[in-house]
């Protein structure tokens, strides 16, 4: 098959601990989002706003960790490619 | 045209197959009995209780200490709501001054269109208030046909079944929760010696209850107290202290009366007696019965806090001769949380609630009935504030209580479960309650724009 006809998706191998941490992060986001939405249904607008603030804060924290990890991974992949070329 | 009316062989077989399947349905094995119709977790237990959260634990004793030897039957005229008694406590002149201050404030506030005290708020309150006493009586309406009238025997069934049908009927009439307590040598002391209107309440060895100008007679066979909670609107009470907030209380008294009348007629229709409150807060000490029946726990408010609705309920009392399965007190960590929280005492504008770390046997005044450990309130300070400042019933203590939060947001049932199971977190949870601005007063003007359900209450607290 011609290599130009398909994409290759690379999933970087992570430890199960890291996957677990991402799962916890996701569940936390669901929890804060539910509380934020339900607070408006309870007519607790100020509490809803606080819950949204926590949601955004954790979302940003996750995004920062993700980007930093990605930079590190890209750097490692780049080094691997250089090594492969050398060999 | 003629072709369309002719059934093809294929269609004929289809129709016959469907008919055969339908005919065979009754022959298929059916679910066993009506008890199996619901396995969704929503079914009632044998005595009619809906499932309660796992952290609401049944207890052999209430979460307050009781010394039955010290408890005497209480005269309902000793509360501050009795005008003669209030005058005895503060003096005639003070009563007159408070009444004129309240009237002056009312007029000034209406003319100034003060939020929560506008003419429409007063009209709404007055509309509920006008209903709370009309048609309320000790013996009931007595209009429903009895089994004797119908020429059939009285209803009979097990005590569990009796409790279930009564609880189901009362919830259908509008009660949020219903509990039963047996009237024995001790619990009879929780029935008032005199009702607020001055009539004596007496237990007599008579077959039928009766009422004269001097007394109300309760037959010895009427051995079961029915205590029920009626929800107030939490969203409405958040504007306390205003007339807007007060009207949900008066509305709950009206609804309590409707439930009482309906239940009295229901039991009459089954062939049994049901004795009700001749006026709001008559007949007996409802919070005490509420605690004994496991509707909730006594709290720093010196009122009952329920696990489902917090303190946003009014409790009512009746007595019946229908034998029912009685209930147990509960421990959901509420009273223990009150020791740490103190939020109600901090915000009480009249400083009428206790700041003490531990409940005490020592009553604050003649309006309290001794014999149990509690955070006794200063009712004179409370009632004076109603008259002098609020111009309404206050209810700030109800509004700020962390248990008043609804359970729509997951964090609230989680917090309640944590309070019950991990008392060490009580202080932290109180701090979080403040951090999320729970208990902050809402603008009463906004109430007129809220999309609230009937009576402003959710019938399912966990939805």
What residue in A sits closest to B406 (Cα-Cα)? A42
The set of residues, in sequence order, having a beta carbon less than 8 Å from that of B219 and lying 6+ positions away, is B203, B204, B205, B206, B207, B208, B209, B273, B321
What ipTM is given for this predicted complex? Answer: 0.84
Q: Quote the pLDDT of residue B131.
A: 86
B21 has pLDDT over 80:
no
Q: Quote the pLDDT of residue B455.
A: 93
The set of residues, in sequence order, having a beta carbon less than 8 Å from that of B311 and lying 6+ positions away, is B299, B301, B303, B304, B305, B397, B398, B401, B403, B404
DSSP-based three-state secondary structure for B38: coil
Q: Quote the pLDDT of residue B1.
A: 38
Paired sense of beta strands B215-219 and B200-204, if any: parallel
CB contact under 8 A, A34 and B409: yes
Q: Quote the pLDDT of residue B28.
A: 52
Least confident piece of the model among B26-40, B151-165, B253-267, B402-416 = B26-40
Give the pLDDT band of residue B8 (cuts 50, 70, 90): low
Average pLDDT score over chain B: 91
CB contact under 8 A, A50 and B437: yes
Tell me which chain B residues have a C-beta less than 8 angstroms from the C-beta of A33: none
CB contact under 8 A, B409 and A47: yes
Q: Which of A28, A32, A39 to mutate to test binding with chain B, by most B CBs within 10 Å of its CB?
A: A39
CB contact under 8 A, B436 and A47: yes
Task: Look up the pTM and report it.
Answer: 0.88
pLDDT per residue as tens digits for the range B179-189: 999 999 999 99
Q: How far apart are CA B64 and CA B304, in angstroms?
A: 12
pLDDT per residue as tens digits for the range A60-82: 999 999 999 889 888 888 888 88
Q: Return the sign of the alpha-carbon dihedral for residues B277, B282, B283, B287.
A: positive
Question: Which residue of A34, A38, A47 is in closest CB contact with B437?
Answer: A47
pLDDT per residue as tens digits for the range B191-239: 999 999 999 999 999 999 999 999 999 999 999 999 999 999 999 999 9
Dihedral (Cα; B396, B402, B405, B410), 10-degree rounding: 170
Tell me which chain B residues have a C-beta less than 8 angstroms from the C-beta of A55: none
Q: How far apart are CA B256 and CA B342, in angstroms?
A: 29
Q: Quote the pLDDT of residue B397.
A: 96
Asked if B437 is an interface residue toward chain A (Cβ–Cβ < 8 A), one would say yes
Mean pLDDT calculated for residue range B309-314: 96
Least confident piece of the model among A75-79, B101-105, B106-110, B116-120 = A75-79
Asked if B409 is an interface residue toward chain A (Cβ–Cβ < 8 A), one would say yes
DSSP-based three-state secondary structure for B53: coil
CB contact under 8 A, A34 and B410: yes
Give the pLDDT band of residue B33 (cuts 50, 70, 90): very low
DSSP class per residue in B422-461: -GGGHHHHHHHHHHTTTTPPPPHHHHTT----GGG--S-T
Give the pLDDT band of residue B3 (cuts 50, 70, 90): very low
Give the pLDDT band of residue B424 (cuts 50, 70, 90): very high
């Amino acid at each position: 098959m011609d290599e130009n006809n398909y994409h290759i998706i690379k999933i970087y191998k992570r430890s199960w601990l890291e996957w677990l941490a991402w799962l916890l992060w996701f569940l936390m986001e669901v929890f804060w989002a539910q509380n934020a939405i339900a607070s408006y249904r309870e007519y607790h607008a100020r509490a809803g706003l606080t819950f949204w603030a926590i949601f955004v804060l954790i979302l940003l924290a996750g995004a920062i960790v993700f980007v930093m990890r990605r930079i590190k991974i890209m750097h490692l992949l780049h080094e691997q490619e250089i090594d492969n070329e050398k060999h | 045209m003629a072709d369309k009316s002719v059934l093809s062989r294929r269609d004929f077989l289809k129709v016959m197959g469907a008919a055969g399947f339908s005919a065979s349905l009754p022959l298929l094995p059916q679910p066993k009995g009506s008890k199996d119709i619901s396995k969704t977790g929503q079914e009632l237990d044998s005595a009619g209780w809906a499932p309660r959260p796992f952290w609401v634990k049944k207890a052999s004793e209430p979460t307050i200490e009781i010394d039955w030897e010290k408890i005497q039957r209480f005269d309902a005229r000793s509360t501050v709501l009795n005008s003669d008694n209030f005058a005895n406590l503060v003096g005639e002149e003070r009563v007159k001054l408070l009444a004129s201050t309240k009237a002056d404030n009312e007029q000034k506030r209406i003319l100034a269109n003060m939020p929560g005290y506008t003419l429409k708020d007063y009209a709404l309150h007055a509309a509920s208030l006008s209903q709370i006493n009309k048609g309320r009586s000790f013996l009931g309406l007595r209009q429903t046909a009895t089994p004797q009238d119908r020429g059939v025997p009285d209803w009979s069934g097990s005590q569990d079944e009796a409790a279930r049908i009564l609880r189901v009927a009362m919830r259908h009439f509008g009660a949020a929760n219903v509990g039963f307590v047996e009237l024995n040598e001790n619990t009879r002391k929780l029935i008032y010696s005199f009702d607020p209107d001055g009539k004596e309440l007496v237990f007599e060895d008579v077959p039928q209850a009766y009422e004269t100008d001097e007394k109300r007679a309760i037959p010895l066979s009427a051995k079961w107290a029915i205590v029920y909670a009626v929800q107030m609107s939490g969203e409405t009470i958040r504007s306390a202290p205003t007339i807007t907030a007060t009207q949900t209380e008066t509305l709950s008294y009206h609804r309590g009366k409707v439930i009482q009348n309906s239940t009295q007629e229901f039991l009459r229709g089954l062939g049994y007696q049901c004795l009700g409150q001749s006026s709001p807060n008559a007949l007996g000490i409802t919070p005490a019965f509420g605690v004994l029946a496991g509707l909730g726990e006594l709290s720093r408010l010196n009122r009952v806090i329920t696990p489902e609705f917090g303190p946003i309920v009014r409790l009512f009392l009746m007595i019946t001769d229908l034998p029912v399965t009685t209930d147990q007190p509960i421990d959901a960590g509420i009273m223990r949380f009150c020791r740490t929280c103190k939020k109600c005492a901090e915000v009480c504008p009249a400083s009428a609630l206790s700041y003490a770390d531990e409940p005490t046997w020592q009553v604050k005044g003649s309006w309290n009935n001794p014999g149990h450990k509690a955070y006794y309130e200063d009712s004179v300070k409370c009632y004076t504030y109603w008259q002098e400042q609020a111009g309404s019933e206050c209810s700030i203590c109800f509004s700020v209580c962390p248990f008043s939060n609804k359970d729509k947001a997951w964090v609230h049932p989680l917090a309640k479960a944590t309070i019950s199971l991990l008392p060490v977190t009580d202080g932290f949870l109180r701090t979080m309650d403040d951090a999320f601005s729970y208990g902050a007063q809402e603008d009463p003007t906004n109430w007129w724009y809220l999309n609230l359900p009937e009576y402003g209450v959710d019938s399912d607290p966990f939805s």
